[in-house]
Amino acid sequence: MLAAHRRFAFVPVLILAISAFISIAIASARTNSGRSETSTDRLGASRPVQADSRGTTSASLARPDVPRMEQVIQSFVSGQHFMGSVLVARGNEIVLDKGYGFANLEWDIPNSSSTKFRLGSITKQFTAASILLLEERGKLNVSDPVKKYMPDAPAAWDKVTIFNLLTHTSGIPSFTSFPDYASLEPFTTTPAQLVKLFRDKPLDFAPGEKWSYSNSGYVLLGYLVEKISGESYERFVQGNIFTPLGMKDSGYDSNSAIIPRRAAGYSPGPDGPVNAGFINMTVPLSAGGLYSTTDDLLRWEQGLFGGKLLSSAALQKMTTPFKEDYACGLMVHTVNGHKVIEHGGGIEGFTTMLAYYPEDKLTVVVLSNFNGPAPPDIASKLAALAHGEKVVLLSERKEVAVNPKLLDGYVGNYELAPKFILTVTREGDKLITQATGQPKVPIFAQSEREFFAKVVDAQITFVPGAEGHATELILHQGGRDVHAKRFEGEVPQPKERKEITLDPKLFDGYVGQYQLAPNFILTITRDGDKLFAQATGQPKAQIFPEGEREFFYKVADAQIIFDTDSAGRATSLTLHQNGATMPAKRVQ
């Protein structure tokens, strides 16, 4: 359902996947060129919104480079990585408002500014606003323990407050990471049944001690909204947010209701887009169940930051980060000197990004009905252009020759995050990077100190010290700079695994496609007596048996366990990597 990485829809480091498959993961999906000609034509189509008074850029603005914005978006469209709708506005002035590709590929219905998209975790900011509205009305206090409104809550939750839920600091484990989660997605459920999934699980840490993204916390907030207000979550959001702000094209999504102009959702397949896997929309609830349009999300940003919904004190509370740049349903941080308040989303068939820059009231909305990493990348590039910054596309970067002796000063280990080391080695006249538990990724010189990857739009700048020996590197990606100091300690080595021999006929039951996340399909194939795994946009990698159902990678510290029925056919698999457990149900 919903991505659960700490930066959620963002890619904070070079080769971390949002939904944590191997290596370059979501960003490297851009390199996939195995689409059919028909798919290329469809994904490459765009449809501008009908011209009106909003479709022009005010001469009073510092004129954004709209043609360059269009060029940036088209680089993703033509590369078969994006279709959807995009809006850029400064205040009330629309800079760009267009649809790209198709809302329905089977009927060739184009996307437009009125196309409705599932939002995924953009939903969380509406849930947070609902809680703060209830607080303003005296119905609750965010410092209250959850147990005040849920007397039967487990003892482990005694110190869990509503604020902890809002800021992902409750310690309640995210139910979307449970091994059996995939088996729950197809079925109708209720808020009480959802809470029952995780209420008796031990906390991952003491409330307030750490930050860990939890869809459970936001489902629990929706449950509390219903208990405290006496209304369903859907009715509360409709009556207290959408209707007052004039958001007529927004609502809670449904698998059965007829919703005009709702886009169909697609995921990448080996030969082009495929219909996305099914999720019963009662499951995401207040963590990811809403739909909207680009135009309505502009109304939301204008209403929220224009004082039409919350008091200034409540808005301040909502947008003040607590831990890890996370506030209440929103990420708040600085990109290239500009404060940005944003959140992304991912759900079957849809990936989204909504960003607001308060200093110049810049809104960027990117909604896609094609799973993949494009929306946050597009959004950050459009914001940079709106701020007059230079944007260089991956296809525009040029490799230059440098003295190979310089490279020796860059070789070493660099700490991107605790227990996450980027190792730089030299192979001939090239530098190779490899992060903890990940495959190797070559980087290419564009100057003596600056390098870029070709499989992902990310760059590295080495900071040399004495005699050219680098003391740190800076990773540039998605408008963010991550500093990594040279690490002189011992780099943890993966557990040594032993390959065994199996009857290759067993492999036939494992062959198929499995959905790791909205962003990823993992395709398992057999070639003779070997089994291979290939994630969307990534090279094929052999996996090796260490048990009848247990397999491991040699190119990355990752393992796969297949879950089989009585006939030996896998119904799902579980990927284990870097301490994360990711279930994936069979979709084909």
Q: Using CA atoms, how far apart are residues 128 and 288, in angstroms rounded to an integer?
A: 12
Structure tokens at 468: 């050219």
Reported as a single tens digit per residue, the pLDDT across 120-134 is: 999 999 999 999 999
Domain locations along the chain: 32-115+261-275+293-391, 397-486, 504-586
Residue of higher predicted confidence among 220 and 588: 220
Sheet holding 117-118, edge to edge: 117-118, 290-292, 251-252
How is domain 504-586 classified at the CATH fold level?
A: Lipocalin (2.40.128)
Q: What does the angle CA 334 – CA 382 – CA 475 come to, to the nearest 5 degrees?
A: 50
Dihedrals φ, ψ of 360, to 5°? -125, 20
Q: Using CA atoms, how far apart are residues 381 and 15, in angstroms rounded to an integer?
A: 19
Q: Do 213 and 6 form a contact (C-beta atoms < 8 A)?
A: yes
**32-115+261-275+293-391 with 504-586: one CATH topology?**
no
pLDDT at 58: 37
Q: Using CA atoms, how far apart are residues 548 and 562, in angstroms rounded to an integer?
A: 9
pTM score over 0.85: no
Residue of higher predicted confidence among 536 and 406: 406
**Using CB atoms within 10 A of its CB, is residue 74 exposed (0-12), middle (13-18) or buried (19+)?**
middle
Q: Do 134 and 225 form a contact (C-beta atoms < 8 A)?
A: yes
Q: Using CA atoms, how far apart are residues 422 and 426, in angstroms rounded to an integer?
A: 13
Indicate the CATH number for domain 397-486: 2.40.128.50
Reported as a single tens digit per residue, the pLDDT across 243-273 is: 999 999 999 999 999 999 999 999 988 788 9
**Residue 107 CB coordination number (10 Å):** 8
Structure tokens at 583: 């279930």
DSSP H or E segment with residue 339 = strand 338-347
How is domain 32-115+261-275+293-391 classified at the CATH fold level?
A: Beta-lactamase (3.40.710)
Coil/strand/helix, residue 568: coil
Reported as a single tens digit per residue, the pLDDT across 18-72 is: 222 222 232 222 223 232 222 333 344 433 333 333 333 333 346 789 999 999 9
Q: Do 214 and 30 form a contact (C-beta atoms < 8 A)?
A: no
Structure tokens at 534: 């290939």
Dihedrals φ, ψ of 229, to 5°? -85, -25
pLDDT at 30: 26
Q: What is the DSSP letter of 324?
A: T
| Alpha helices, DSSP H, located in 343-435 | 374-386, 404-407
The radius of gyration of the chain from alpha carbons, rounded to an integer in Å, stands at: 24
Q: Do 116 and 261 form a contact (C-beta atoms < 8 A)?
A: yes
Structure tokens at 372: 């993949």
